[in-house]
Amino acid sequence: MLPETVSGNSDAEAIDQQFPQAIVDVKVEPDGPVLYIAPSEIVAVCRLLKQSCGFERLSAVTGVDWWPRAPRFEVVYFLHSLSRNARLRLVVRLGEHESIESVTSVWRGANWYEREVFDLFGITFRNHSNLERIMMPADWEGHPLRKDYPVHGHKYSYGDE
Amino acid sequence: MQVPEKMMEGKAHVASLDAEHELEVEDPSGVPPLERPTSRRMTLNMGPQHPSTHGVLRVLLELDGETILNARPEIGYLHTGIEKECEVKKYQQVIPLTDRVDYLANLNNNLCYSLAVEKLLALEIPPKAQWMRVMLCELTRLASHLIWLATHALDIGAMTVYFYCFREREEILKVFEMFSGQRMMTSYIRIGGLALEPPRGWHKAVSQLVERLARGIDEYEALLTNNPIWLNRTKGIGMLPVDLMIELGVTGPMLRAAGIQRDARKHFPHSSYDKFEFEIPTRTANDVYARFEVRMEEMRQSVRIVRQALEGMPEGPWRADAQHVLLPDREQMKTQMEALIYHFKLVTEGFRVPEGSVYQVTESPRGELAYYVVSDGTANPHRVFMRTPSFGNLQALGAMLEGVLIADSIAVMGSMDFVLGDVDR
């Protein structure tokens, strides 16, 4: 059952009709509603939104680390519909050692964004064609955007040189 | 979504280029180029210090003769961890960092971040500040497009244009210096309004500048638009089917040159952009020349917006009335105890932003620029994510270079107008 705050939202209703278990939580932020999706349903939900709700574009994918809170990570998907001139934000909450299915099968453009999240947060995307580091060197240790990673790095701080 | 049929021919064009290539004809086995023995192919490492990549970008090219079979951009050489650094700064201290993301469109980055935080704070910005922001962002767009035109033309061999463009860009930077005291890293747009009161004589300086820019644009067009060498080098290359472009995350002038009329200034209006009259230029050819035409027309539209801003600039305060966010006037600080306390508190502790998150979309000269700011209720942002246009655009480079001659790859890269600081952050 959808919460009242998004009862008029056609996208949320479309998801709820097709996948009743997919929306686990809803928040209303200053720029619109945010749908929290169950990790197992994300690819199916994205495919539905692309095919029947007109979201041709994935604007970006990013992560947020809420350490030491649990579940630790959020993976955020910013969807954009050119034909409807609408935007939608999906969030998936993930525990520290959990992985998530890649959405590159839905939007090819997710490729680099997911690599970036993998590189900087250490979140693994299953079935990604080329899940390698993109910003940091290939032999880098640690994931810089995690909250327990020091701002000046573990290894290469100025004090060591 | 309706996709013009003409656009769908892009891939066919790439295939036909490949088929016509003499090496392809010579090969009796009929094995597709990518599956042929590696001795026929050569891997060329372009960059990270190649002058035509406009920054430290490395592209691994797999060549068959002079035809690119496969191109793989490698990024990250300019990764400075700006997003990480934002998390340990106070909200107002992030502004100078946003300057350094896309250093050719710094004010657009200032604006996008400020708008996101203002949305979280539910701050109302007075009309004069909004109009000033629009005017300065359009001047930044002009400066950024001038750099693009200068370097793009220089790559293809038109050196005069380079000097002309830098001459006019310098005038724009002088105006920025007049406003903020800085030529490039201005940090002039702040949360709640502007950094300083607009200087005396700004109106005259900007009016003279736009007149000069309008004349300048005619000069560049006279040099390039019908120039046969320019036409030969730019027409019919760098095409990609439009639905693939959308899926790969391409935005901005590149998408508009493919016939998609989308511009965040019109479709997600902010900062009074809806009060200005301007058009979104589009082309359908989807090649390097079409991108040139779109950006030239955008420059004219920017001049139009700046003229409107000069004519209709509203009177009133240049920043919001919000003591808890903005530093008090110098005058008040010396006469009022309360103002002094606010000043001390803001400088030492910063201001708290209510919990929540905002994805603020704006149109930078390169395309869709968005800031995702997450607040946990403290004075430091919990997370700042920058959805930069160059990152999304560059993702299409590999597909765009397939089947292109190596000499043309320079023109294609120039037409993408990426800034590596914007890609790597």
Low-confidence ranges of chain A (pLDDT < 50): 160-161
**Does B83 lie at the interface with A, CB-CB under 8 angstroms?**
yes
pLDDT score at A142: 86
Chain A environment of B83 (Cβ under 8 Å)? 120, 145
pLDDT in tens, A120-134: 999 999 999 889 899
pLDDT score at B117: 93
pLDDT score at A30: 87
A-B CB pairs within 8 A amount to 94
pLDDT score at A32: 85
**Interchain pair B382, A64: CB under 8 A:** yes
**Does B60 lie at the interface with A, CB-CB under 8 angstroms?**
no
Is a pLDDT exceeding 50 seen at residue B281? yes
pLDDT score at B24: 45
Task: Work out the minimum CA distance from A20 to partner chain B, whole angstroms.
Answer: 26
**Does A139 lie at the interface with B, CB-CB under 8 angstroms?**
no
Distance CA B27, CA B33 (A): 9
Average pLDDT over residues B256-278: 89
pLDDT in tens, A10-25: 888 888 888 888 888 8
The amino acid occupying position A156 is: Y
Question: CATH second-level architecture of B82-424?
Answer: Orthogonal Bundle (1.10)
* A87 close to A78: Cβ distance less than 8 angstroms: yes
pLDDT in tens, B220-255: 988 888 888 899 888 888 888 998 999 898 999 999
Tokens for B391? 């990152």
Q: What is the mean pLDDT of chain B?
A: 86
% pLDDT > 90, chain B: 45
**Interchain pair A59, B368: CB under 8 A:** yes
Which residue in A56, A111, A135 is closest to B246 by CB distance?
A: A56
pLDDT score at B31: 61
Quickly state the pLDDT bin for B375 (edges 50, 70, 90): very high
* B21 close to B299: Cβ distance less than 8 angstroms: no
pLDDT score at B271: 85
Task: Work out the minimum CA distance from A1 to partner chain B, whole angstroms.
Answer: 24
pLDDT in tens, B139-195: 999 999 999 999 999 888 888 899 999 999 999 999 999 999 998 899 999 998 898
Full residue range of the structural domain in which residue A144 is found = 4-160
Helix (H, G, I), strand (E, B) or coil at B40: helix
Q: Which residue has the tokens 């790597």?
A: B424
Total domain count for chain A? 1
Average pLDDT over residues B400-407: 88
Tokens for B321? 């009335």
pLDDT score at A70: 84
**Does A28 lie at the interface with B, CB-CB under 8 angstroms?**
no
Which residue in A29, A57, A149 is closest to B358 by CB distance?
A: A29
CA A98 to centroid of chain Cα atoms: 13
pLDDT score at B223: 87
Residue A144's CB is within 10 A of a number of other CB atoms, namely: 20
pLDDT score at B25: 45
Is a pLDDT exceeding 50 seen at residue B17? no
* B414 close to B95: Cβ distance less than 8 angstroms: no
Substitution target in B83, B242, B244, B248 with the highest count of A β-carbons within 10 Å is B248
Is a pLDDT exceeding 80 seen at residue B18? no
pLDDT in tens, B22-48: 444 455 556 666 665 556 788 888 878
Give the H or E element holding residue A63: strand A57-65
- State the CATH number of the domain containing residue A16: 3.30.460.80
List for chain A the helix, strand, coil content (%; round to 5): 25, 25, 45
Query: Residue B173 forms beta bridges with which residues?
Result: none
